[in-house]
């Protein structure tokens, strides 16, 4: 494992291309996610970080578990990969949609000069429902690219309403939204403009008026809300 930030691209939907190279994607707000039930029973960093390298990360300097709720973070320290009682207590009370960051500093021997060097590991994840929300289809309760309902909705309500001359100038737009307990899209907000306010408003309005989704569920089968992101435009156009 290399030093620094661990990254991944875990998306809830596949990428779809249309005319003028316009693309869209609906995905979770974090690349890494973890189920609430898994968080509740976690005893070590390896239960939170996939493929945690416990066999060679041994000489710990500092270990931090950062709990982030509504933008407010609290840090809880430990000595090694084993979670402290306080860290486990925090994780058990964490809610769906909350974020967890882990910062680990450790020493590792340089294979060339034999000296111990300081290395760092940073990992971020978000707690997701045990059953995630998905866009309702007529034939099943799964996100199915072959069904094409999501693509058709975006084409009819966004792409077809944008003048052809304007499409090639669109930068990638980012909109965040929530699917509530009833499957209704709420709390839509533009986080990254395409560079044209009228198109931003068009996209925002279309996402706000999406038909009902199948809402997310927790381990007990109760409906819960879940956050998503919608990106639209020409990739790397910003």
pLDDT in tens, 103-140: 999 988 777 887 888 999 999 999 999 898 988 654 44
Digit-by-digit pLDDT tens for the chain (238 residues) are: 433 333 223 333 333 444 446 788 887 887 789 999 899 999 999 999 999 988 888 789 999 999 999 889 999 999 999 999 999 999 999 998 899 999 999 988 777 887 888 999 999 999 999 898 988 654 443 444 434 778 888 889 998 898 888 887 788 889 999 999 999 999 999 999 988 899 999 999 999 999 999 999 988 899 999 999 998 887 654 4
Local structure of 184: helix, strand or coil: coil
Q: What is the C-alpha end-to-end distance of the chain, expressed in Å?
A: 31
Q: What is the pLDDT of residue 126?
A: 93
């Amino acid at each position: 494992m290399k030093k620094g930030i661990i990254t991944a691209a875990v998306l809830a939907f596949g990428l779809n291309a249309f005319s003028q190279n316009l693309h869209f994607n609906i995905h979770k707000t974090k690349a890494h996610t973890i189920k609430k039930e898994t968080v509740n029973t976690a005893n070590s960093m390896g239960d939170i970080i996939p493929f945690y390298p416990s066999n060679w990360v041994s000489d710990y300097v500092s270990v931090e578990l950062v709990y982030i709720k509504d933008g407010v973070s609290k840090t809880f320290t430990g000595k090694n990969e084993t979670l402290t009682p306080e860290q486990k207590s925090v994780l058990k009370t964490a809610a769906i949609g909350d974020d967890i960051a882990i910062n680990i500093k450790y020493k590792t021997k340089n294979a060339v000069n034999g000296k111990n060097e300081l290395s760092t590991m940073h990992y971020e994840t978000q707690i997701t429902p045990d059953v995630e929300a998905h866009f309702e289809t007529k034939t099943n309760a799964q996100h199915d690219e072959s069904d094409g309902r999501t693509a058709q909705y975006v084409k009819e309500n966004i792409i077809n309403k944008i003048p052809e001359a304007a499409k090639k100038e669109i930068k990638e737009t980012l909109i965040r939204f929530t699917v509530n307990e009833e499957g209704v899209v709420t709390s839509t907000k533009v986080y990254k403009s395409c560079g044209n306010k009228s198109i931003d408003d068009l996209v925002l309005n279309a996402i706000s008026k999406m038909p009902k989704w199948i809402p997310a569920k927790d381990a007990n089968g109760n409906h819960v809300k879940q956050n998503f992101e919608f990106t639209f435009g020409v990739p790397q156009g910003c």
